[in-house]
């Protein structure tokens, strides 16, 4: 991080956890709109989750998705492969062997999509045959995932940990020399919404009662506080948004889990820095450095010649109102933080050495998003 007169020059944000909805659900989002939303807010790489239609659980569907993302994304991207309830271990083996992906996401609780795995044999085989497994696991499923990782796995990344109760389980595992080892490390991800929102805010208006529903559900204010304390103790590895866009109509009609996140994640964190809740160094670690390390992102090209730089410029003092002083780029067209007054805003995004966003404008002609490369 370089501080130039309160304008920070820092690495672009890497968001390990997004649902870009392509293919199959592109009325909610697609790689074009989703990557524009990212570029605007300072995210230079997103990782997409496999609960699309079709699910990203075959080599063929992964390659098809890659093609779509390469054509449409204006920022860099990675794709998480998916574990299927119908046992796709042969596909997992193929995908990892050919380095088509290096991560597998599994769902161990009910949420949006059709990917819940309940069969213990399948879970075991997924861990045996994967490298890093990302899990949607809540409550006792977290214990189960930690156990599976210890006995069969080569790495566990617990997504969107919402509460003190659940984060304590992961912190204890991270501190346990038998559960968290070089051979099978344990990582903890926290989302902005579990830091900044809670049941009190959700229950405060009829609209919020519908909009602020997601899996895992929002928890208490005291949980927000525990997550912040854990972050500042260095017990959390990443901030991932779980960007999960749904149309506002769908959200208001019936309970629909998920909400957008990439457009506000960095600004919310810089605002928190301005309030003394977190250091800039910790923001950089959680949103840039650790994601790159955990995803094993390979530095490409000859950096000394200036190629492939993913850099953002952030004005830490700029005050703005979400949804009023900016245009929402996500196809879902709304944000849970509408009307929030924030201090701190991304003002320039450079992807692969080219400016893709500057002073409120996305450069339409720049389509230089590339698939992230990784090492084994
Ligand atoms: O709230 C959620 N929405 N949680 C998930 O795990 C999935 C996501 C989605 O895809 O909408
Ligand atoms: Zn999830
Ligand atoms: Zn519980
Ligand atoms: Zn998710």
336 vs 373, which has greater pLDDT? 336
Q: Which long-range contacts (CB under 8 A, 24 or more apart) does 360-364 make?
A: 360/326, 362/36, 362/39, 362/40, 362/74, 362/329, 363/74
Mean pLDDT, rounded, for 246-268: 98
- Token pair 């506000």 is found at 264
Nearest CA to ligand 1 atom 2: 258
What is d(CA 346, CA 356) in angstroms, rounded to the nearest whole number? 12
Mean pLDDT of the region 345-355: 94
pLDDT at 367 (0 to 100): 74
Q: Is the beta carbon of 156 within 6 A of some atom in ligand 1?
A: no
Mean pLDDT for 2-23 is 93
Please choose from 113, 117, 134, 192 the residue to mutate so as to test ligand 1's pocket, defined by most ligand atoms within 8 A of CB: 113
pLDDT at 373: 85
Q: How confident is the model at residue 301 (pLDDT cuts 50, 70, 90)?
A: low
Q: Are 33 and 331 in contact (CB under 8 A)?
A: yes
In this structure, which ligand is nearest to the CA of 161? 2
pTM of the predicted structure, to 2 decimals: 0.97
Cα 218 to Cα 296: distance, rounded to the nearest angstrom: 30
Within a 13 Å sphere around the CA of 354, how many CA atoms are in the beta-carbon half? 14
Q: Is the CB of 51 under 6 A from ligand 1?
A: yes
Identify the residue whose C-alpha is closest to ligand 1 atom 7: 112
d(CA 76, CA 206): 38
For residue 5, pLDDT over 90 is answered with no
Residue-level pLDDT at 306: 46
Q: What percentage of the chain exceeds 90 in pLDDT?
A: 89
Q: Which ligand is nearest to the CA of 217?
A: 1
ipTM of the complex model: 0.96
Whether cis (ω within 30° of 0) applies to the bond prior to 190 is: no
Q: E-strand spans in the chain?
A: 2-4, 7-11, 13-18, 43-48, 76-79, 81-82, 103-107, 132-136, 156-158, 186-190, 238-239, 311-321, 341-351, 354-358, 361-362
Measure 139 CA to ligand 3 centroid, in angstroms.
4
């Amino acid at each position: 991080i370089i501080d130039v007169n309160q304008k920070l020059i820092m690495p672009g944000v890497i968001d390990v956890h997004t649902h870009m909805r392509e293919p199959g659900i592109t009325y909610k989002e697609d790689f074009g709109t989703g990557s524009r939303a990212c570029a605007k807010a300072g995210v230079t790489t997103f990782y997409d989750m496999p609960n699309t239609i079709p699910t990203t659980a075959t080599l063929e569907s992964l390659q098809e998705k890659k093609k779509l993302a390469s054509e449409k994304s204006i920022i860099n991207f990675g794709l998480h492969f998916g574990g299927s309830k119908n046992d796709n271990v042969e596909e997992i083996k193929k995908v990892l062997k050919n380095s088509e992906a290096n991560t597998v996401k599994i769902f161990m609780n009910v949420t949006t999509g059709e990917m819940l795995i309940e069969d213990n044999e399948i879970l075991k085989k997924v861990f045996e045959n994967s490298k890093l497994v990302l899990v949607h696991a809540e409550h006792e499923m977290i214990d189960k995932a930690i156990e599976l990782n210890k006995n069969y796995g080569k790495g566990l990344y617990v997504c969107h940990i919402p509460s003190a109760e659940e984060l304590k389980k992961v912190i204890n595992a991270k501190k346990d020399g038998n559960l968290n080892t070089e051979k099978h490390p344990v990582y903890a991800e926290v989302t902005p919404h579990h830091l900044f929102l809670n049941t009190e805010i959700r229950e405060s208006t009829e609209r919020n009662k519908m909009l602020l529903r997601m899996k895992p559900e929002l928890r208490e204010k005291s949980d927000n506080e525990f997550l912040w304390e854990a972050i500042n103790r260095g017990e959390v590895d990443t901030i991932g948004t779980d960007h999960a866009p749904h149309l506002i109509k769908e959200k208001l009609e019936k309970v629909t889990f998920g909400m957008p996140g990439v457009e506000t994640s960095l600004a919310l964190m810089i605002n928190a820095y301005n309030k003394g809740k977190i250091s800039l160094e910790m923001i950089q670690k959680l949103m840039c450095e650790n994601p790159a390390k955990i995803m094993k992102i390979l530095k490409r090209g000859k950096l000394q010649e200036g190629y492939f730089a993913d850099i953002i410029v952030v004005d830490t003092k700029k005050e703005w109102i979400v949804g009023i002083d900016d245009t929402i780029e996500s196809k879902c067209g709304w944000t849970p933080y509408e009307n929030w007054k924030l201090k701190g805003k991304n003002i320039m995004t450079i992807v692969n050495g080219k400016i893709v966003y500057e002073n409120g404008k996305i450069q339409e002609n720049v389509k230089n998003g590339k698939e992230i490369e990784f090492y084994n």
